[in-house]
Amino acid sequence: MSLASRRRARSVFRPIALAAPLFVAMHARAAPEAGAEPPADTVLPAVKVKATPDRATEGTGSYTTRSTSTATKLDLTLRETPQSISVVPRKLMDDFSLNNVNAVLGGVTGVNVERVEPDRTYFSVRGFEVSNFQIDGVGLPFATGDQIGDLDTALYDRVEVLRGANGLMSSTGNPSATVNFVRKRPTTEFLASGALSFGSWNTRRLDADVSGALNAAGTVRGRFTAAAEKGDWYLDRYSRSKHLFSGIVDVDLAPGSTLTLGHSEQHNRPNGVMWGTLPLFHGDGTPTNYATSASSAPSWTYWDTDDTQTFAELSQSLAGEWQAKATLTRRELKSDAELFFVIGQPNATTGAGLTSWPSKYNSKETQWIADAHVSGPFRLGGRRHELVLGANWSKSVNALRSSDDGSAPLTESEMLAGSFARPAFDKGITGSADFDNRRTTLYAVTRFNVTDALKLVTGANVVRSTSSGLQYTLAHDYRETKATPYVGATWALDARHSLYASHGSIYNPQYQVDESGKVLDPIKGSNTELGVKGEWMDHRLNGSFAVFRVEQDNLAEAAGFNTTVGSYYKAIDATSTGFELDVGGTLAPGWELNGGYTQMRIEGADGNAVRTYVPRKTLRLTTSYRVPVLKALKLGASVKWQSDYERKDTATDNTTTPVTTRGVTTRQASYALLDLAATYEFTRQVSLTAKVENATDKRYLNSLMWPNQSFYGAPRNGSLTLKWMY
């Protein structure tokens, strides 16, 4: 069997199923009428009240959440949290068929999705990349800072984005934001659901979700979630498939003691994958103008990724309302790829001047993360306060092997046709990396109830970060111990409005190298913000306004590519200042809203604008409305607007004598993307959702984050999803 046949066999679309909430059954007695005395033998009927697991959003129908613990591990409402935070709940994801992390985060206030390649994405907030990604509040920054592959959202109840430095819980990372994916959990009552989707480019998707008690007493509960998707895409020669599943079991060991065991896997199998993208301009500096579907990837390229996670969690109630929790997680990220990179700019007349660089990659990152903490109330000065004490240990083992087949001349027409033949890749290993990152953290958080109106959140962590090993023959080595303080405060103006302020610091050892191959010094950064928050509609609507200042030193910025070290970077100092408005929840019965507006400026140490490829103004707004005269129909719309941005690069024409080089600026004008959705509920169990993405068919570049290259975003496309719930 050929390599292509084996790969097609591995990626056969396997229908599996998805998505449903489950509810905890509760029984209550109806109250007698005033003045009436019910007979002693009267048996009142049981009343079932539907509830969701701990702070879950599925089943609530809301576009917000009541509480979150992402910032401090304290269970606080959004108004009580002294930082700006957005939540994307399960209902919003279902209403708009947001099946991957790019689609979810692309609609969050202040988040910029930098899709540098079809299967590689960076995320930035307040002008800087996000490196902290957590699952259920526990995580480790990716060794390479980017998201490889298509991370599916079928397994999650909600996604929380905490803007600013999460210095208490993350220790290392950028002071931009922390993204926390909160898993769906087992429920007591049985419920099942499935969904079948068909979309543009022959896309098919099947989802299933089942949950409930596994014994009569309800002390053992389980949940199984799965999804599979396959189809082509708008890019020439590109196709993809993925499948994933998750199994979680809760066991009540004793009253107040619960053990949770879980395992999940996601496998992505894309073909015709671009590594690097299309030249933005010719050698003479004139812009290229390719078709929206244009790709530089031959059909033999692929980039297979596997994400496997296993975790154990023990929760224990202690005396005096104290709680203890310990979590151990193992995550393995594997990648196998044969890719094709294009270097240079083509001659505007002949198309000559490009260089090919095919490579074969195999990488593996294994993460071990352990976290244990206790939390509870204490009394001081006659008032009740809250305390969290904890420790965190993590280890990341990274290994990479690469083999390139040398470079060869390439014309523009050959690139667009994808006609470059697959090389043998028989020259042995030409590059490798083997390094370990370790982190040990002690942290403490106290929420002082100073007065009925004033709450003060203070804390700090001490983290020891070490690394050892080699990255492309160069030492990947550092040893550093760092203490990072945090302080935040909220002042309740009345029952619905609060002022808040916070300051947090963070630092982040870097993996990026400069043009000579030397690893850049660690980032040092901080975030300061002031704001006002409100909650209305009986806590079903949350809003906030914040002004912020983010500082980063030694920040890695993409500077180029060469065949010796690959992508290389330069270190810059940058400061971002601005404001943002965020809102989420119920505006009126049947009318939900989620989104916000961000405006900022980003300056270097000399006061000049830096990171000009980041849009300075963004608007994200998603809303849905249940039609009063036709209750079964819900209509929705999502707008993603951003201001213009640009990048300055250098164009080189190596087909002339002498070689000519000139400066060139690529500018993406401001644009808005409009998505539309409609759901019709035939019965309580069966519904149909229709969605149109990029309804106006806007043509735009996905990102200018990387020098000299980009590709166009997806044109107008649609999908239909038939969902059944038991």
Question: pLDDT tens, 461-515?
Answer: 888 888 888 777 677 777 888 888 889 999 999 999 999 999 988 777 776 778 7
Q: How many CB atoms lie within 10 A of CB 657?
A: 6
How many beta carbons lie within 10 A of that of residue 77, not counting itself? Answer: 15
- Which strand (E) or helix (H) includes residue 646? strand 645-653
What pLDDT was estimated at residue 145? 60
Burial category of 393 from C-beta neighbours within 10 Å (exposed 0-12, middle 13-18, buried 19 and up): middle
Determine the Cα–Cα distance for residues 162 and 82; give it in Å rounded to an integer. Answer: 10
Cβ proximity of 359 and 339 under 8 Å:
yes
Question: For residue 229, what is the enclosing H or E element?
Answer: strand 220-232
Domain 3-26+48-425+435-725: homologous superfamily in CATH: TonB-dependent receptor, beta-barrel domain (2.40.170.20)
Nearest to 99 by CA among 700, 723, 648, 630: 723
Read off the pLDDT of residues 45-89 as tens digits, 9 standing for 90 and up.
333 334 445 567 887 888 888 778 776 788 889 999 999 999 999
Whether the Cβ atoms of residue 519 and residue 476 lie closer than 8 Å to each other: yes
CB 291 within 8 A of CB 298: no
Contacts of 495 (CB under 8 A, 6+ apart): none
Burial of 31 (0-12, 13-18, 19+ CB in 10 A): exposed
What pLDDT is recorded for position 51? 40
**Token pair in block for residue 24:** 């905890």
Contact 356, 407 (CB under 8 A): yes
Choose among 304, 195, 290, 292: nearest CA to 239: 304
Q: What is the DSSP letter of 215?
A: S
DSSP three-state, residue 95: helix
CA dihedral 348, 353, 355, 356 (to 10 degrees): 50
In 3D space, the residue among 363, 275, 328, 307 whose CA is nearest the CA of residue 101 turns out to be 307
Work out the burial of residue 489: count CB atoms within 10 Å of its CB; fewer than 13 is exposed, 13-18 middle, 19 or more buried.
middle
Opening angle at CA 84, ends 82 and 88, nearest 5 = 125
| CA-based end-to-end distance of the chain | 43
pLDDT given at position 48: 37
Where the chain has pLDDT below 50, the residues are 1-52, 143
Q: What pLDDT was estimated at residue 497? A: 96
Residue with tokens 């490829």: 613
Tens of pLDDT, residues 514-551? 877 777 777 788 899 999 999 999 889 999 999 999 99
Reading phi first (left if > 0) and then psi (alpha if -120 to 50, else beta), residue 164 is in: left
Asked whether 310 and 330 are in contact (CB, 8 A), the reply is yes
What is the DSSP code string of 464-477?
Answer: EEEEEEEETTEE--
Extents of the domains making up the chain:
3-26+48-425+435-725
Distance CA 340, CA 429 (A): 17
Q: Residue 192's pLDDT is what?
A: 95
Alpha carbon distance 26, 241 (integer Å): 42
Determine contact, residues 182/52, Cβ cutoff 8 Å: no
pLDDT at 53: 52
Hey, which residues does 160 pair with through a beta bridge? 87, 180
Three-state DSSP class for residue 150: coil
Single-letter amino acid, residue 696:
T
Tell whether pTM > 0.85.
yes
CB 582 within 8 A of CB 596: yes
The DSSP call for residue 93 is H
C-alpha span between 273 and 290 (Å, rounded): 17
Please tell me whether residue 655 adopts helix, strand or coil conformation. Answer: coil
Number of H helices, E strands in the chain: 4, 37
β-pairing verdict for 617-626 and 591-604: antiparallel
- Is residue 105 within a helix (H) or strand (E), and if so which, with residue range? helix 101-105
Instruction: Indicate if the alpha-carbon torsion angle 653, 656, 660, 662 is positive or negative.
Output: negative
- Amino acid 169: pLDDT: 66
pLDDT per position as a tens digit, 387-434: 999 999 999 998 999 998 888 999 999 999 999 999 989 888 888 888
Distance CA 629, CA 422 (A): 60
Longest dimension (CA), the chain: 105
Amino acid type, 253: L
Pairwise CA distance, residues 670 & 641, whole Å: 7
| Euclidean distance between CA atoms 509 and 231, whole angstroms | 39
Beta-sheet pairing, 177-183 with 132-135: parallel
